[in-house]
Amino acid sequence: MQQIRSQVTERDGLFELEAGSDVLDSPRYNHDMAPTKVRERTWNKWHITALWVGMSICVPTYTLGGVLTAYFGLSVGEALLAILFANLIVLIPLTLNAFPGTKYGIPFPVLLRSSFGILGSNVPCLIRALVACGWFGIQTMFGGLAIHLFLGSVFEGWKSLGGTGEVLGFMAFWALNLWVVIRGAESIKWLETLSAPLLVAVGVGLLVWAMPNVSMTELLAIPAKRPEGASVVSYFAAGLTAMVGFWATLSLNIPDFSRYAESQKAQIVGQIMGLPLTMFLFAALGVVMTAASVKLVGVTVSDPVTLIGHIQSPVWVALAMALIIIATLSTNTAANIVSPTNDFQNIAPKVINRTKAVMLTGFVGLLLMGHELLKKLGLIVSDVSLETVYSNWLLGYSSLLGPIAGIMVVDYFLIKKQQLDLAGLYRDDVYPAWNWNGFIAFGVPVVLTLLSLGSDAFSWFYSYGWFTGSALGGLIYYGLCALRAQPSAVKSAV
């Protein structure tokens, strides 16, 4: 006989929900969004390290050094330091926001119900989902190019397809990504675990190939592309903010993964070991490879897929492209599909299950890349490049998510004091439908950031967007909650 009221139990600091009819019949609940059972939390520190290695080693990371030197006026050394510092900084919200996921086994959208409301959580979720779908489309474009070059190295006739072959590669890689995520979290865990050592091997191989053709002394001595005599501080801060923005999205939805961690120690240690050094080293590799590309292939090439495509040996091209396909797949599935899949389910859990949400993510990503695909098919002509979208819109848009990170940390640690009503997060009678404190705390920094774009006096507010947004969002949220004396909504059951 089904129990009526849900029960919450604790095992070594991890909470588990035995759902009763009050939760099972709720429109806010489905099996995929349910808290993970303690027995399902099997990811140890090495799995989480592998997750970050798999997500960090990708084409966009490879190009970060070039983005900072070309668009942000930094020297090579300054760019690499900005990448390292940014990833050390972003570890703070990553580890803090991972705590409730590990403790309660809940995904990101369910956690947001505490700070934005049961229904209100859909607004920041959909904002986050749009960024992920954009990244999904871009990574799929790189993966599709790798498939095109792989097939071109194996079948001579494939090369003649040109842009059409790239589009076919895109669609094949698009379908492969969706298939992996539909299979579930265990599929992603093993993909990341198996791909991590292969990705490290790719990096080492590229470095061995490039080093004889580049002088590190000369590379580090290249002057920065900024006005002579200009202070490095403002340029460095802008680049640092952009690099924090690179993982700003994951700092929000990290509960989507930490809900599978076996302990808080596992998620903390795994993230520390997996993220900062991997990002720094692979970005540094990109700088070295781009500098060496002139001697290696005769032209400056800033992405590894195109660079390897210049190699004359079909065997080495095929092998390298196969590894890059694995690298891009491991990044794309974890970083760019899992979150919107959960976010879209949160809209109507009884109607949208995981399979439907994965397909919705795929079609939104396809739509966002429609312009680029039509260009490759020769159906339209446009000067808008994929690099422009990547370096401007996505990084800038990500920085606007800072307030959500600040609100989440303040809500869980200071307002709720790490105590949530687990069953109440799946019902309509504990937390408000719309938590206006969260929306005000989110809206004020975003409006100020947008207004600062047209003001020289307040341009620093945009330049430091992620930092100013997260700090101001957290402070406003705490102040509003203190003024309104909002109850913590904690039941004695937990």
pLDDT tens per residue across span 313-363 = 788 778 878 878 887 888 888 888 999 999 999 999 999 999 999 999 999
**pLDDT band for position 428 (cuts 50, 70, 90):** very high
Question: How much is the pLDDT for 392?
Answer: 61
The mean pLDDT of 25-41, rounded to a whole number, is 95
What does residue 37 show for φ and ψ, rounded to 5 degrees?
A: -75, 155
How much is the pLDDT for 492?
Answer: 41
Packed helices 45-56 and 185-210: angle between N→C axes, nearest 10 degrees: 60
Identify the band that residue 134 occupies on the pLDDT scale cut at 50, 70 and 90.
confident
pLDDT in tens, 442-470: 999 988 887 887 777 777 777 777 888 89
In this prediction, residue 393 carries a pLDDT of 61
Residue range 39-92, pLDDT digits in tens = 999 999 999 998 898 888 887 788 888 778 877 888 888 888 999 999 999 999
Least confident of 30-34, 148-152, 294-298: 294-298
pLDDT of 494:
45
- Residue 347 forms beta bridges with which residues? none
Question: Domain 43-381 is classified in which CATH homologous superfamily?
Answer: Hydantoin permease (1.10.4160.10)
Per-residue pLDDT tens for 356-412? Answer: 999 999 999 999 888 889 988 988 877 766 666 655 665 566 667 889 999 999 999
pLDDT tens for each residue of 236-293: 888 888 888 888 888 999 999 999 999 999 999 999 999 999 999 888 888 888 777 7
CA 441 to CA 432: how far, in whole Å?
16
Q: Which residues have C-beta within 8 Å of that of residue 1, sequence separation ≥ 6?
A: none
Neighbours of 426 (CB within 10 A): 28
User: Mean of the per-residue pLDDT values for the chain?
Assistant: 86
Q: At what angle do helices 163-182 and 122-154 cross, to 10 degrees?
A: 130
pLDDT of 491: 47
pLDDT at 57: 82
Quick: pLDDT tens for 292-302. 777 777 777 77
- The domain segmentation of the chain, as residue ranges, is 43-381
Read off the pLDDT of residues 177-193 as tens digits, 9 standing for 90 and up: 999 888 877 787 788 77
Q: Can you tell me the distance from the alpha carbon of 416 to that of 488, in angstroms, rounded to the nearest whole number?
A: 5
The pLDDT score that the predictor gives to residue 429 is: 92
Residue 389: its pLDDT value, please? 61
- The answer to whether the beta carbons of residues 357 and 341 sit under 8 Å apart is yes
Q: How far apart are CA 310 and CA 417, in angstroms?
A: 56
Banded pLDDT at 3 (limits 50, 70, 90): low
Token pair of 477 as six digits: 């949220």
Mean pLDDT on 92-103 = 96
pLDDT the model gives residue 306: 76
Mean pLDDT calculated for residue range 402-430: 96
pLDDT tops 70 at residue 487: no
Q: Which residue has the higher pLDDT, 26 or 399?
A: 26
Please report the pLDDT score of residue 394 as a whole number: 53
pLDDT band of 226, cuts 50, 70, 90: confident
Distance CA 406, CA 93 (A): 8
pLDDT at 396: 62
pLDDT tier for residue 493 given thresholds of 50, 70 and 90: very low
pTM over 0.75: yes
